[in-house]
A and B are shown apart, each in its own frame.
Chain A
Amino acid sequence: MIDDIFGDDFEDDDALNVEETYTKSSWKKTLIILALFAAVAAFAVAAVTIGAASSFGPIEALETIISKFLPVSEPSSFAQLIVLQLRLPRILMAIITGISLGVAGAVMQGVLRNPLVSPYTLGLSSGAACGAAIAIVFGVGILGSGRYIIIVNAFFFSLFTMALVYGISRMRGTSVETLILAGVAMSYLFSAAISSLKYFSGNEALREVVFWLMGGLYTTKWENVVLLAPIVVLFTLLLVRYSWDLNAMSAGEEVASSLGINVNRVRIICLVLASVLTASVIAFTGIIGFIGLVSPHVCRLLIGSDHRYLIPASGLLGAFVLLVSDTACRTVVQPTEIPVGIVTSFIGVPFFLYLLVRRKRRWWQ
């Protein structure tokens, strides 16, 4: 039927150049994603070879990893400890965390049609921080006490905040603006709670709270990586499956609905998935700023807004930025460390401001 509409004034190959241009641009986007993937992989290998331990060189560091699988050499137990137990899990954790924040940021911005949204603005981060601070200061969490109370508390507080923010916005008919404002308001409330906890807590707890708030990957253990990696892979794939719906929803609720999309259902599913994804990683790492906000924006400049490409690209760029930042943290001021949350914000904010000022098109209006 659609060919009847085009009628006889159409030759068979008439619109071929448009088709070719589109196919070409799709390939270009795929290539950019592959390049980002290669950059993350290459930097990860490089990051294994550098660090504060100076009794062995880069070559030996690589040999240590290879000898784990192939008996090519006999690395020292010290090298094994440093490379396999300290550097490698931390590098993988940086990648996992970066992917989560980048993916969640892209999805949250897309689903709420708002360029200012990130785990920060929706109250997820401050919720996690408040949960962690309570666990640190009082030594108890919502699941009693034990080794993991800080992580568990941060995770559940974070999700609880998201549920609360969503619930508040539901009372006003799920308007996106209400959701964002409720998130910002909750962030202020939690900040106040954290400040009072800091004010009344003793020296040691205070120091630990401050450290948690700045975010870092230095406590990473293999078990964390093993726990988080499947979650991140699974949730990312689930979210990528919603790319078409997210694309359609960015044209507005009415258009999306007339394209057969149940807007409210997709919105809540995507928000829950993105929130659980974010909450799982920041419960382990603490607050790591700006990746969730900036990574999607930079990727839109690189490959446009089609979520089929945007979500993976944003995750990979997040991984790359966090990996570079964390490597800088543990190597620049040896032998001490700078918390990675500070570094990402110091790199992220000026870069973001540069984008704001330099961009010709102002899509955030």
Chain B
Amino acid sequence: MKLKVSDLTFSYNGKTTLENISLEVEKGEAVSLVGPNGAGKSTLIKCIDRILKPQRGSVIVDGKESSRMASKDFSKMMGYVPQSTQEIFPYTVFDIVLMGRRPHIGWRVTKRDVRIVARTLKFMGIDDFAERYFDELSGGEKQKIAMARAIVQEPNVLLLDEPTSNLDIKHQLEVMKTVRLLVQRGGISTIMAMHDLNLASRFSDKIVMLKDNRVFEVGVPESVLIPENIEKVYGVRANVIKDGEGRPYVMPLDPI
């Protein structure tokens, strides 16, 4: 499903955190938002998901303006994976993932709901934890659970807020490979805020680079992840080489 953000502006307590953001995501495209801390990556994701209300601009999903959609219809379309999840009360993994079916469930849980949750747990490789309590699990497992919750929503657009921060390298790769499967097999359009430029380079079709609350550059990884851009946006001198698949690989050298 195609998603189009035009001229989106958001300010919080008088401070502008997003200014005239425009971007487009095609069906089955993976887009990474990169940029230094405070550039507005997370805020943009939350504005797209209607968690925050932008002052100006619009988000158009499948030809419809998102702010005019009923919240239930909207939530069937867009899934959101937060940076970290904390549960205050003891929920089992199954219960938490089942919450993702909320937009589809009236009151009763149907056989189909249970089946989708069970298969998604299996797909994510966390079916062994189904009846375990969420707070007993590791950070990587928790991230997979949060992703599973968004998957069972059956969204057309998936938003991930720094999905790999705080994860070890194995979990980082597992999470990113899952994202790639969702994009390729399910045709899900994906937008993710990323800190790790090399994971972004390897797993995205397009990179949107943000600087000072504005879009600095948009394009394929090869054209965006170049030493000049990294120096201007991050204030870091870097070498960029090609990895085995010909993707740019960023080696940061010195802060300027």
Across the interface, name the chain B residue whose C-beta is closest to A3: B119
Given known A-B contacts A255-B80, A255-B82, A361 and B90 have beta carbons under 8 A apart: yes
Contact A5 B90 (CB under 8 A): no
Contact A258 B116 (CB under 8 A): no
Q: Would you give the 0/1 interface string for A275-301, flagging 1 where the beta carbon is closer than 8 Å to chain B?
A: 000000000000000000000000010
Task: Kindly state the separation between the CA atoms of A44 and B91 in the bound complex, as whole angstroms.
Answer: 33
- Give every chain B residue within 8 A of A6 (Cβ-Cβ): 119-120, 123
Residue in B88, B109, B159, B181 whose CB lies within 8 Å of A115: B88
Residue in A21, A115, A241, A258 whose CB lies within 8 Å of B49: A258
Contact A251 B87 (CB under 8 A): yes
Which chain A residues (195-237) contact chain B, with CB distance < 8 Å? none
A-B residue pairs, 8 tightest by C-beta: A260-B75, A258-B80, A15-B118, A18-B118, A305-B89, A5-B186, A15-B122, A259-B102
- Give every chain B residue within 8 A of A361 (Cβ-Cβ): 90, 133, 135-136
Given known A-B contacts A15-B119, A18-B127, A258-B49, A23 and B88 have beta carbons under 8 A apart: no
Residue in B50, B85, B115, B133 whose CB lies within 8 Å of A257: B50
In the complex, A74 has a CB within 8 A of chain B: no
Q: Would you give the 0/1 interface string for A1-41, flagging 1 where the beta carbon is closer than 8 Å to chain B?
A: 11011110010001110110111011000000000000000
Q: Would you give the 0/1 interface string for B38-72, flagging 1 where the beta carbon is closer than 8 Å to chain A?
A: 00000000100111000000000000000000011
19 chain-A/chain-B pairs, Cβ below 8 angstroms? A2-B151, A4-B185, A4-B186, A10-B123, A18-B122, A19-B118, A21-B131, A25-B131, A114-B88, A244-B105, A250-B89, A252-B82, A254-B46, A255-B82, A257-B49, A257-B51, A258-B75, A305-B95, A306-B91
In the complex, B167 has a CB within 8 A of chain A: no
In the complex, A364 has a CB within 8 A of chain B: yes
Task: Kindly state the separation between the CA atoms of A125 and B122 in the bound complex, as whole angstroms.
Answer: 48
A-B contact count (CB 8 A): 149
Q: Would you give the 0/1 interface string for A22-65, flagging 1 where the beta carbon is closer than 8 Å to chain B?
A: 11011000000000000000000000000000000000000000
Contact B99 A259 (CB under 8 A): yes
- Give every chain B residue within 8 A of A109 (Cβ-Cβ): 89
Q: Would you give the 0/1 interface string for B100-138, flagging 1 where the beta carbon is closer than 8 Å to chain A?
A: 101101010100001111111111000100110101100
Contact B153 A259 (CB under 8 A): yes
Contact A1 B187 (CB under 8 A): yes
In the complex, B165 has a CB within 8 A of chain A: no
- Give every chain A residue within 8 A of B133 (Cβ-Cβ): 361
Interface residues of B (CB under 8 A from A): 46, 49-51, 71-72, 74-76, 78-80, 82, 85-92, 94-96, 99-100, 102-103, 105, 107, 109, 114-123, 127, 130-131, 133, 135-136, 146, 149, 151-154, 159, 181-182, 185-188
- Give every chain A residue within 8 A of B105 (Cβ-Cβ): 244
Residue in A5, A26, A114, A258 whose CB lies within 8 Å of B151: A5
- Give every chain A residue within 8 A of B186 (Cβ-Cβ): 1-2, 4-5
- Total interface residues on A, CB under 8 Å, equals 46
- Give every chain A residue within 8 A of B136 (Cβ-Cβ): 361
Given known A-B contacts A1-B186, A15-B121, A252-B85, A259 and B51 have beta carbons under 8 A apart: no
Contact A260 B74 (CB under 8 A): yes
Closest-CB distance, B148 to chain A (whole angstroms): 11
Residue in B85, B90, B149, B151 whose CB lies within 8 Å of A363: B90
Residue in A4, A10, A304 whose CB lies within 8 Å of B119: A10
In the complex, A345 has a CB within 8 A of chain B: no
- Give every chain A residue within 8 A of B152 (Cβ-Cβ): 2
Given known A-B contacts A248-B102, A260-B74, A304-B92, A5 and B123 have beta carbons under 8 A apart: yes
Task: Kindly state the separation between the CA atoms of A250 and B135 in the bound complex, as whole angstroms.
Answer: 13
Contact A258 B51 (CB under 8 A): yes
Closest-CB distance, A174 to chain B (whole angstroms): 15
Contact B90 A248 (CB under 8 A): no
Across the interface, name the chain B residue whose C-beta is closest to A362: B135
- Give every chain B residue within 8 A of A260 (Cβ-Cβ): 71-72, 74-76, 102-103
Contact A5 B100 (CB under 8 A): no
